[in-house]
Structure formats: structure tokens, C-alpha cells
Amino acid sequence: MRQEFARTIGRLIARRRMELEITQEQLSVAIDVDPMTISRFERGVTLPSLLTVRRLADVFGVSMAEFFDESLPAPSVDGDAARLAMQLSALDEDEREFAFDTLRRFCALSARRRP
């Protein structure tokens, strides 16, 4: 699992670096690591530390969450859960929080009614 994650992160780093049209050496200077380190990341040999991920995210112009969001597989949902997720995604943050709070209260109430 770790090796697969390292390869996924490596492909992501390589893709973003190429989108910026910079070399491994230029990226290494930007995040203050050895150029071979970038090569090891991109080949999935090693994983970057969180500090290095922070620096990579800054260079790529994304948050750390966005950096990892692209590297993790999307959860698979189907049926009612998928429909609920689609409905919630259309809401703004306050509306989503209200919906979650209402759902939590409903679940708590339902749990109390069960024998």
C-alpha cells in the first residue's frame, strides 16, 4: 500500500511539475532539496515529508488538502448515499452544516425510538 501511494504521489508531482514546465532541478531549488530527491519522489522510491509536501503545494499553487485530494482514490458510493452526496454538494457551507445537524438529530431521535 505504501509503495502504491508513493508511486501515486510521484506521478502527481511529475505531472504538476511538467504543467509548470520546470525541470526537476528547478523544482529542487524551489523546495530546497537535492535534485535526486525529486527524481526519487517521481519514481515512487521515497515519499516526501509533510514539510516537503507543504513546499511542493506552495510551488504548485495548491493547498495541502488539494495536493492530497488528487492523489487519493475517490470513495465509491452508490444508491441513496450517492443521491444524498449529490444533493449536499449543491449546498453552500452553512446549508450543508444545517443539513448535517438535522440528519444527526434525526439519527439520534431514531436511535432512541428503537427497542
Residue 71: its pLDDT value, please? 55
Residue 23 — pLDDT band, cuts 50, 70, 90?
A: very high
Model pLDDT for residues 61-110, shown as the tens digit of each residue: 988 888 877 655 555 555 677 677 777 777 788 888 888 788 888 888 88
* DSSP of the chain: -HHHHHHHHHHHHHHHHHHTT--HHHHHHHHTS-HHHHHHHHTTSSPPPHHHHHHHHHHHT--HHHHHHTTSPPPP--HHHHHHHHHHHTS-HHHHHHHHHHHHHHHHHHHHH--
Of all residues in the chain, the percent with pLDDT exceeding 70 is 87
The CATH 1.10.260.40 domain(s) of the chain lie at 2-69
Mean pLDDT of the chain: 84
Q: Is the pTM of this model over 0.75?
A: no
Question: Would you state the CATH architecture of domain 2-69?
Answer: Orthogonal Bundle (1.10)
Q: Which of 27, 35, 34 is nearest to 56 (CA)?
A: 27
